[in-house]
Amino acid sequence: MSTGQQTEHELYRSEPAVYVYEAPVRIWHWVNALCITVLCVTGYFIGSPLPTMPGEASDHFLMGYIRFAHFAAGYVLAIGFLYRILWAFLGNHHARQLFVVPITNLNWWKGVMHEAKWYAFLTKEPHKYVGHNPLALLFMHVMLVWGTVFMIFTGFALYGEGTGMGSWQFEWFSSWIIPLFGQSQDVHTWHHLIMWVIICFIIMHVYVAIREDIMSRQSMVSTMISGWRTFKDNRAVDDED
């Protein structure tokens, strides 16, 4: 980095901004975040219930309400996910990025390596991206997209056990997913384990979003609120398309 040149540029800097996340994507992001929070909390308490309630059974419905919140949030998450897939077709090209990982593109893999080095403090500067950086895309695609798909399928399979044979939830999900895992107990266990995968993802996701905002060359957190990506320098971006 030559400091002199940069300063000269930045004197005349007119920060270009790009409209990346359209309103439907932003709404989905925050609704999804809320759903995941509700699902993790209620899901945890379904597996390890709160201390026992005193009095008559007819006076309480605690487990019922916790399960209701879980199922309701699950439905919202699933419908939101379908809506997000639909928006990948209807929205701008950034809306598609989450679902299409260019795994055959060698340059993209170089980008992954570069970002990994940036996070390992092995390189001075990250690349500059309008969309998701390659490492972010890789993690979001694997852990969030496929994690969500897994949770929706196993979640409906478990839900279908309650709605019973003949219900669409049972026919579409439980009838083949339960035998696939062997029995219901293993489906519960995997549903539980992937929840923790998603929790790990959230820890990294929140940290990285804030860190990128502070230390990288483009805006991050504010972009998911306003939709606009702003930049801290006006050199060329690395994912021009």
Out of 92, 105, 189, 222, the residue judged to bind another protein by CB under 8 A: 189
Report, in Å, the least distance between residue 37 CB and another protein. Answer: 14
61 contributes a contact to another protein by CB under 8 A: yes
Q: Going along the chain, which residue ranges are E strands?
A: 17-19, 228-230
Separation CA 168–CA 154 (nearest Å): 14
Distances (CA, A) of 132 to 109, 177, 206: 13, 33, 14
Out of 20, 161, 219, 231, the residue judged to bind another protein by CB under 8 A: 161
Tokens of 118: 């940036």
Report, in Å, the least distance between residue 43 CB and another protein. Answer: 11
List helix spans (H) across 125-227: 134-139, 146-163, 168-169, 175-181, 184-215, 223-226
Q: Which residues in the 212-231 window bind another protein by CB under 8 A?
A: 214-215
The dihedrals phi and psi of 220, each to the nearest 5 degrees, come to -135, -70
Out of 23, 50, 106, 236, the residue judged to bind another protein by CB under 8 A: 50
Of residues 54 and 104, the one with the C-beta less far from another protein = 54
CB under 8 A, 24+ apart: contacts of 236-241: 236/128, 237/128, 237/129, 237/130, 238/111, 238/127, 238/128, 238/129, 239/111, 239/127, 239/129, 239/130, 239/131, 239/133, 240/130, 241/93
207 contributes a contact to another protein by CB under 8 A: yes
Out of 23, 89, 106, 179, the residue judged to bind another protein by CB under 8 A: 179
12 contributes a contact to another protein by CB under 8 A: no
204 contributes a contact to another protein by CB under 8 A: yes
Q: Which residues in the 87-146 window bind another protein by CB under 8 A?
A: 119, 121
Footprint of another protein on this chain (CB under 8 A)?
3, 6-7, 10-11, 44, 47-53, 57-64, 66, 119, 121, 161-162, 164-165, 175-176, 179, 182-186, 188-189, 192-193, 195-197, 199-200, 203-204, 207, 211, 214-215, 232
